Amino acid sequence: MQFHSQIRQIFVLLTAIVLMPFASVAAAKSKAKVSDQTQAENILKKYNQKSGVQIKLEMLTEKKVLGTKTTDKGVMTHQTGKLNLSLEGEKKSEMIFDGKKAYLISYPDQELDPDGKRKVILLKVNDKNQLGLLSNLFGNPKKFFSNFKTKTVSTDSDTLTLVLEDKAKTLKPMTLVFSKKDQALQKMSYLDDVGSEIQINFEKPNYTTEISSKLFKYNVLKSDEVVSQ
């Protein structure tokens, strides 16, 4: 009996030795995943400062239903839960979120229509539309990531790339690319809530510019054509 007991103990010991490397690899992979997302969150937390941050960007939009592609350049300004996204391309537009209410302002072409009126849409803010995604991404990255699970991670000496999958399955996978050197978000691509393919290329953030509070206020003009979303 003592001989059989010793055999069993030796078998258990050998099994543990054989399985230990596999358990270590699995633990390392799990740890790597967590650290990748944590690294991304830590980068994004820098954007949510009281002093604010401004980022020059390029937005590429493809509306497959209409068969159109547009390129807009502009500036995104973020300051503790408030956001202003100003774009210029074929048309000038401005998206304002004051922390409670949101507005999309489309400006008339002054050359073609010098007496044209601004069109203002009162936007609904949710976690799935463009404004909600950007507001959470830069203002509350923990909340942003809570709506997604990491599908794939790829990393090299220069970049960290996360492909995220919406837990509610209402959005297609989203890709975030971070610069390790600059500790900044480089690119964001996704399919928005109206079916347009969006790619935003971000330049290095500017934390030193003095930001006016007027950027986060919608100044009403009597001539504005206002509609609700």
CA distances from 189 to 26, 168, 176, 229 (A): 30, 18, 7, 24
pLDDT of residue 10: 45
CB contact set of 51 (below 8 Å; sequence gap of 6+) = 79, 207, 211
Q: Does 47 map to a domain?
A: yes
Q: Does 161 map to a domain?
A: yes
Contact 89, 68 (CB under 8 A): no
pLDDT of residue 31: 44
Q: Does 16 map to a domain?
A: no
Q: Does 37 map to a domain?
A: no
Q: Does 167 map to a domain?
A: yes
CATH number of the domain encompassing residue 147: 2.50.20.10
pLDDT of residue 8: 54
pLDDT of residue 110: 72
What percent of the chain has a predicted confidence (pLDDT) above 70? 85
Residue 152 lies in domain: 43-228
Q: Does 24 map to a domain?
A: no
Q: Does 134 map to a domain?
A: yes
Q: Does 103 map to a domain?
A: yes
pLDDT of residue 148: 93
| Adjacent-strand bridge partners of 120 | 105, 226
- How many domains is the chain partitioned into structurally? 1
Low-confidence residues of the chain, pLDDT below 50? 2-4, 6-7, 10-34
pLDDT of residue 65: 82
